[in-house]
Amino acid sequence: MKSKNVREVALNLILRIDQSGGFSHLMIHHAIESEAVSRKDAALLTEIVYGSLERKLTLQYDLSRFIKQKKRTEPWVESLLLLSIYQMRYLNQVPTYAIINEAVTIAKKRGHKGIASFVNGVLRQADRKGKVDFSKIENKIERLAIETSHPQWLVERWVDQYGYERTYEMCMTNVDKKPLYLRVNRLKAQPKEVISLLAEEGVEAVLSSQANYGIMVRNGNVLQTPVIEAGLATIQDLSSLLASDFTEVKSGMTVLDSCSAPGGKATAMAEAMDNTGDIYAYDLHKNKTKLIKQNAKRLGLTNLHVSQADARHLQDKHDAESFDRILVDAPCSGLGIIRSKPDIKYSKTEADINNLSHIQFDILNGLAPLVKKGGKLIYSTCTVDRLENNDVIKRFLQENPQFVLDPSFTNEVKEKAWTDVLLTDEGLQIFPQSFNSDGFFVTRLMKLDEKNGE
Enumerate the active-site residues.
382
| Residue 337 CA from chain centroid, whole number | 3
Strand 323-329 to 254-257 pairing: parallel
Residue 2, classed as helix, strand or coil, is coil
Cα gap 8→93, rounded to integer Å: 18
User: Measuring CA to CA, which residue among 372, 360, 295 is closest to residue 328?
Assistant: 360
Residue spans of beta strands (DSSP E) within 288-419: 304-308, 323-329, 371-381, 403-405
Cis-peptide into 262, omega within 30 deg: yes
DSSP assignment of 128-196 equals HH-S--GGG--SHHHHHHHHTT--HHHHHHHHHHH-HHHHHHHHHHHTSPPPEEEEE-TTT--HHHHHH
Query: In whole angstroms, how large is the CA radius of gyration of the chain?
Result: 24
Amino acid (1-letter code) at residue 413:
V
Cα gap 281→92, rounded to integer Å: 46
CA atoms within a 13 Å half-sphere pointing along the CA-CB vector of 328:
30
Cα gap 233→182, rounded to integer Å: 6
C-beta separation of 291 from 223 below 8 A: no
Cα gap 279→267, rounded to integer Å: 9
| Residue 258 CA from chain centroid, whole number | 19
